[in-house]
Homo-oligomer: A and B are copies of this chain.
Amino acid sequence: GEADVAAGEKAYQQVCRNCHGPKAQGMSAYPKLADKEADYLTERLETYRAGERIGPNSPLMIPFAQELSDEDIVNIVGYITTAFK
């Protein structure tokens, strides 16, 4: 469905920014997101949500991703892929 970018912003700025930065520019071991495609971000969040360990940060990402509904993912990805262009 259509992304609610304001809702995505609220979720991103409340949780994700603490590791990925306020502009999704990435910080230390935590990757930049602002340059990633929507499909990539969606697939990664769904993989973490499924509890799949894909890298060293999986133990951190899995609990966060498991909080997200499909709509949350659409909104957060919609925000990340438009807000910082």
Closest to A30 in B: B18
**Prevailing SS type, chain A contact patch:** helix
Chain B residues within an 8 Å CB radius of A29: 18
Number of copies: 2
Bound CA–CA A57/B18 (angstroms): 9
The digit string for A30-66, where 1 denotes a CB below 8 A from any CB of B, is 0000000000000000000000000001011001101
Q: Which residue of B lies closest to A15 (CB)?
A: B59
Q: Looking at the complex, which one of B14, B19, B59, B66 makes contact with A59 (CB distance below 8 Å)? A: B14
Within 8 Å by CB of A64, from B14, B19, B57, B63, lies B63
Please report the C-alpha to C-alpha distance between residue A14 and residue B64 in the assembled complex, in whole angstroms: 15
